[in-house]
C-alpha cells in the first residue's frame, strides 16, 4: 500500500481500555485501524516503518470519516450489531486475506469461533490433520497482524481452551474482554478499580 493511493486518517474516541482508534480510509473503504490508543486529533505512534500508513488527516466533515465514526459510536453504545462499511482489503494478501474475509463474512455479533475452526472454515490451509495445531497458530498470527480490527471482528476469535490473546499484553486482553462483554459473549463483571 503506497501513500499515493489516497489513504486519509482520522481518530475516533472509544470507551475501550486502549483508548481511541486511529483509522485509515480510502475511496474503497476502511483500510486500517492501525493503532489503538491514538489521541483524538493527534498522530498515533506507528513506528519506524509507518511510511505506507501516512497520509492527510481527515475531519468529521469527510463523508468516510463521518460514516465510520457514527457506526463505531453506535456499536460502542450497544445500538449496532453489524457494520455496513466497506473494507479495503489491499493491505492483505493470500491466506491472511482469505481468513480475514471469512471471519468478516461468517462470524456475527455475539458469537465466537476458535482459531482452529476459523482455519478450517476459511479453507486457506492444507488439510493435513497433523498440521491442525499449526493452522490454529497461523490464524492467531493473522489476527495479531490484521490491519482492520473491530470492523473485522478479530476479537471474536478465541482459543479452544479460553479467550486467547488480542493485540498483546494486558490492555489488549482487557479490550478483547470488553468487546466480548459488549456483545454478550462474556458476562458483565463489576470493576471496582
Closest alpha carbon to 89 in 151, 31, 7: 31
Is the same domain home to 8 and 58?
yes
Give the strand pairing for 21-25 and 8-12: antiparallel
3-state secondary structure of 77: coil
Q: What percent of the chain has pLDDT over 70?
A: 82
- Residue 165 domain boundaries: 92-182
SS3 content of the chain, % helix, strand, coil (to 5): 40, 15, 45
User: Looking at the domain assignment, is residue 189 inside a domain?
Assistant: no
Residues classed as catalytic: 154
Is the same domain home to 42 and 113?
no
User: Looking at the domain assignment, is residue 31 inside a domain?
Assistant: yes
Is the same domain home to 38 and 103?
no
Model confidence over 89-102: pLDDT tens digits? 999 999 999 999 99
Model confidence over 155-191: pLDDT tens digits? 999 999 999 988 778 888 999 999 999 999 999 877 6
| CATH number of domain containing 173 | 1.10.10.10
- Tell me the angle at which helices 115-122 and 94-106 cross, rounded to the nearest 10 degrees: 100
Query: How far is Cα 127 from Cα 115, in angstroms, rounded to an integer?
Result: 15
Is the same domain home to 41 and 100?
no
3-state secondary structure of 62: coil
By CB neighbour count within 10 A (0-12 exposed, 13-18 middle, 19+ buried), where does 25 fall? buried
CB atoms within 10 A of CB 45: 11
pTM of the full predicted structure? 0.85
User: Looking at the domain assignment, is residue 71 inside a domain?
Assistant: yes
Amino acid at each position: 500500500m503506497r501513500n499515493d493511493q489516497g489513504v486519509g486518517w482520522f481518530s475516533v474516541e472509544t470507551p475501550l481500555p486502549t483508548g481511541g482508534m486511529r483509522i485509515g480510509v480510502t475511496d474503497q473503504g476502511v483500510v486500517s485501524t492501525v493503532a489503538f490508543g491514538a489521541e483524538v486529533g493527534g498522530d498515533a505512534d506507528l513506528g519506524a516503518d509507518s511510511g505506507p500508513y501516512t497520509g492527510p488527516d481527515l475531519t468529521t466533515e469527510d463523508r468516510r470519516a463521518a460514516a465510520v465514526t457514527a457506526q463505531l459510536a453506535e456499536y460502542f453504545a450497544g445500538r449496532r450489531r453489524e457494520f455496513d462499511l466497506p473494507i479495503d482489503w489491499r493491505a492483505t494478501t493470500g491466506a491472511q486475506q482469505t481468513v480475514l474475509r471469512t471471519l468478516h463474512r461468517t462470524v456475527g455479533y455475539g458469537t465466537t469461533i476458535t482459531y482452529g475452526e476459523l482455519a478450517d472454515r476459511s479453507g486457506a490451509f492444507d488439510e493435513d490433520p497433523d498440521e491442525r495445531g499449526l493452522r490454529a497458530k497461523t490464524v492467531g498470527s493473522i489476527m495479531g497482524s490484521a490491519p482492520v480490527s473491530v470492523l473485522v471482528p478479530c476479537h471474536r476469535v478465541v482459543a479452544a481452551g479460553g479467550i486467547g490473546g488480542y493485540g498483546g499484553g494486558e490492555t489488549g486482553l482487557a479490550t478483547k474482554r470488553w468487546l466480548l462483554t459488549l456483545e454478550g459473549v462474556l458476562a458483565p463483571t463489576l470493576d471496582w478499580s
